[in-house]
């Protein structure tokens, strides 16, 4: 299901905002360098926004499950300094392609040791250094810089030193970047991941448009539109989202690590990639033994199923991800008598009237409870609005605030929000069985069935967490109400005693 490649302890979320506010610093036009253009890509625009055809693909890379270029990649890496490996690329059940043990591998053994010369970073040498100079002079951040570098080197085909690596990359990565807006609306209507996917697509589109307007259009010899267009940027960002890693011991540098990015994710392992200064190579340490023929795994980080789908295009089997969570949407109603005062308090701490908080099978964060207190507060508690908003944002020290007088109302508010979300999942899952896929070819049908199955798996896992939260909230409400009943009975007893 998942392409064998997404890496690491933490996948970096790019700060696209820094790109939009860089002041152009153009100097004299660099010497024109002829580029051999090997791709013919095009985009259509509607309302100024780039739109992409789903069935288009870049002219480099390979099929997601192809082993055609695996041996060439391994031979090139070995000739370029990769030490002998105990693993090889093979077709696997989990991840299409993956690294499989060739020999016995012990628990605690260090593997890979990819040298820095075989790692792609923002400092990598360009085949067209003039293009790199223009981008760096304009302060382009690492993410779009590496994305542009990857396109530049890919367009050279065999002329690039990275050609064997690029040939082994998927021509179309598993990524929500390749879902159309109608597919996101149809299949992810119940999940908050839909909003994050739309935001990510808009960020990638905005980054490309910014580069095109500020740089590419002014240097067409260095950045021809036939090569640097929305289609190729969607591909390169799909590769980065699914493969780029942050290496803690290499000053936190982000990098593409050929060979290492063929490792698949398992929720049952905790090992991750890092840089070893003594051996000067990217490595990982196994946390379990492997027998010959077994697939070797690493962790892409403690991510929810939704986050794994967002960046890597797969959903783990139900119940196998101990760090799974679901985003619960909560909001202050405009009909609230203190709506303006509560909104003002929230904005003071960078929040809005509508927020999303993660809920896990084990419970929910203190910030969500603080938000519930604020939403349930009557006008008489207006002096505590600021404290509640601060706790909801965690701007101050993490504090478990309690307001016993509105405990029941806050819990009921959370239960109502939870059940409202559950109803959306139930509606989608009930409709998914008879969902009209609206396709005209077997290829389209396979794609639609695949997307629908991903959505069903995600929604099933997220609804399961909400059901658990619903159960906990109902028990808490029962305990609160039974406690109040005991207090009232005790009060009545005292009253009768003094009659």
pLDDT in tens, 152-165: 999 998 999 999 99
The predicted pLDDT at position 38 comes to: 39
Residue 489, phi then psi, degrees to nearest 5? -60, -40
pLDDT, average across residues 400-408: 92
Q: Is pLDDT of 219 > 90?
A: yes
Asked whether 169 and 61 are in contact (CB, 8 A), the reply is yes
Domain that holds residue 38: 17-312
Same domain, residue pair 204 and 176: yes
Q: Report the CATH number at residue 346.
A: 3.90.1420.10
Domain boundary among 245, 278, 312: 312
Same domain, residue pair 163 and 224: yes
pLDDT, average across residues 26-36: 36
* Beta-carbon contacts of residue 93 (< 8 Å; ≥ 6 apart): 295
482 compared with 44, residue with greater pLDDT: 482
379 compared with 27, residue with greater pLDDT: 379
Same domain, residue pair 133 and 259: yes
Q: Is pLDDT of 17 > 90?
A: no
Q: Is residue 319 part of a domain?
A: no
Q: What percent of the chain has pLDDT over 70?
A: 83
Same domain, residue pair 299 and 442: no
Q: How many domains does the chain have?
A: 2
Same domain, residue pair 260 and 172: yes
Mean pLDDT of the residues in the chain: 85
Same domain, residue pair 85 and 126: yes
The predicted pLDDT at position 439 comes to: 55
Q: Is residue 496 part of a domain?
A: no
How many Å apart are CA 18 and CA 203, to the nearest integer?
12
Same domain, residue pair 336 and 407: yes
Q: Report the CATH number at residue 33.
A: 3.90.1410.10
Q: Is pLDDT of 213 > 70?
A: yes
**Which range has the worst mean pLDDT, 85-89, 116-120, 397-401, 454-458?**
397-401
Same domain, residue pair 427 and 475: yes
pLDDT band at 10 (very low <50, low <70, confident <90, very high): very low
pLDDT band at 34 (very low <50, low <70, confident <90, very high): very low
The predicted pLDDT at position 355 comes to: 96
Among residues 54, 4, 43, which one has the least CA distance to residue 448? 54
Give just the sign of the alpha carbon dihedral 201, 16, 136, 218: positive
**Which range has the worst mean pLDDT, 55-69, 222-236, 368-382?**
55-69
pLDDT band at 46 (very low <50, low <70, confident <90, very high): very low
Q: How far is CA 12 from CA 212, 243, 358, 412, in A?
A: 24, 10, 19, 37
pLDDT, average across residues 236-251: 92
Tens digit of pLDDT for each residue in 459-495?
A: 999 999 999 999 999 999 999 998 765 554 544 544 4
How many Å apart are CA 215 and CA 54, to the nearest integer?
27
Same domain, residue pair 254 and 229: yes
pLDDT, average across residues 176-196: 95
Q: Rg for the chain (alpha carbons), in Å?
A: 26
The predicted pLDDT at position 19 comes to: 37
Q: Is pLDDT of 25 > 80?
A: no
pLDDT band at 441 (very low <50, low <70, confident <90, very high): low
Q: Is pLDDT of 438 > 80?
A: no
* Beta-carbon contacts of residue 278 (< 8 Å; ≥ 6 apart): none
The predicted pLDDT at position 396 comes to: 62
pLDDT band at 340 (very low <50, low <70, confident <90, very high): very high
The predicted pLDDT at position 318 comes to: 84
Q: Is residue 10 part of a domain?
A: no
Q: How far is CA 25 from CA 136, 173, 459, in A?
A: 10, 34, 47
Same domain, residue pair 254 and 377: no
The predicted pLDDT at position 250 comes to: 84
* Torsion angle, alpha carbons of 180, 182, 187, 188, to 10: 80
Q: Is residue 362 part of a domain?
A: yes
pLDDT, average across residues 400-425: 96
The predicted pLDDT at position 418 comes to: 97
* Beta-carbon contacts of residue 490 (< 8 Å; ≥ 6 apart): none
pLDDT, average across residues 330-359: 96
Domain boundary among 312, 340, 368: 312
How many Å apart are CA 239 and CA 169, to the nearest integer?
8
Same domain, residue pair 53 and 120: yes
Q: Is pLDDT of 6 > 50?
A: no
pLDDT, average across residues 79-108: 94
Among residues 271, 247, 265, 275, which one has the least CA distance to residue 311? 265
The predicted pLDDT at position 446 comes to: 84
Q: Is residue 373 part of a domain?
A: yes
Q: Is residue 200 part of a domain?
A: yes
Domain boundary among 287, 312, 337: 312
The predicted pLDDT at position 398 comes to: 66
Same domain, residue pair 210 and 348: no
419 compared with 396, residue with greater pLDDT: 419
């Amino acid at each position: 299901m998942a392409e064998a490649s997404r890496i690491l302890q933490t996948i970096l979320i790019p700060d696209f905002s820094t790109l939009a506010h860089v002041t152009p610093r153009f100097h004299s036009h660099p010497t024109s360098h002829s580029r051999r253009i090997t791709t013919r890509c095009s985009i259509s625009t509607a309302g100024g926004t780039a739109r992409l055809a789903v069935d288009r693909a870049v002219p480099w890379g390979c099929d997601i499950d192809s082993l055609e270029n695996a041996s060439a990649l391994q031979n090139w890496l070995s000739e370029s300094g990769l030490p002998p490996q105990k693993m090889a690329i093979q077709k696997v059940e989990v991840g299409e392609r993956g690294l499989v043990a060739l020999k016995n591998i012990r628990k605690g053994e260090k593997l890979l040791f990819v040298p820095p010369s075989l790692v792609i970073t923002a400092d990598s040498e360009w085949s067209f250094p003039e293009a790199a100079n223009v981008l760096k002079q304009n302060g382009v951040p690492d993410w779009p810089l590496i994305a542009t570098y990857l396109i530049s080197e890919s367009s050279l085909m065999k002329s690039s030193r990275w050609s064997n690596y690029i040939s082994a990359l998927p021509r179309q990565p598993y990524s929500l970047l390749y879902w159309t807006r109608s597919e996101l609306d149809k299949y992810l209507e119940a999940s908050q991941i839909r909003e994050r996917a739309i935001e990510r697509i808009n960020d990638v589109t905005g980054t490309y448009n910014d580069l095109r307007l500020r740089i590419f259009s002014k240097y067409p010899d260095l950045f021809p539109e036939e090569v640097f267009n929305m289609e190729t940027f969607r591909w390169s960002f799909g590769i980065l989202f699914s493969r780029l890693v942050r290496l803690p011991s290499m000053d936190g540098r982000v990098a593409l690590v050929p060979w290492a990015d063929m490792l698949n994710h398992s929720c049952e392992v905790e090992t991750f990639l890092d840089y070893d200064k003594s051996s000067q190579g990217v490595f990982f340490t196994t946390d379990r033994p492997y027998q010959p023929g077994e697939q070797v795994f690493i962790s892409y980080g403690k991510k929810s199923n939704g986050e794994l789908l967002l960046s890597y295009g797969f959903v783990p089997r139900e119940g196998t991800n101990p760090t799974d969570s679901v985003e619960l949407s909560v909001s202050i109603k405009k009909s609230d008598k203190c709506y303006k005062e509560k909104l003002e308090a929230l904005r003071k701490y960078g929040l809005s009237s509508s927020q999303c908080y993660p809920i896990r099978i084990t419970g929910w964060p203190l910030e969500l409870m603080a938000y519930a207190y604020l939403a349930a507060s009557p006008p008489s508690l207006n002096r505590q609005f600021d404290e509640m908003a601060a706790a909801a944002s965690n701007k101050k020290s993490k504090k478990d605030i309690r307001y016993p007088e509105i405990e029941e109302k806050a819990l009921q508010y959370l239960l109502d929000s939870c059940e409202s979300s559950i109803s959306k999942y139930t509606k989608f899952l009930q409709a998914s069985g008879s969902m009209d896929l609206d396709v005209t070819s077997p290829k389209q049908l396979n794609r639609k069935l695949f997307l629908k199955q991903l959505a069903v798996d995600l929604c099933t896992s997220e609804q399961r967490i909400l059901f658990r939260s619903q159960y906990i909230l109902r028990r808490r409400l029962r305990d609160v109400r039974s406690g109040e009943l005991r207090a009232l009975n005790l009060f009545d007893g005292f009253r009768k005693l003094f009659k």
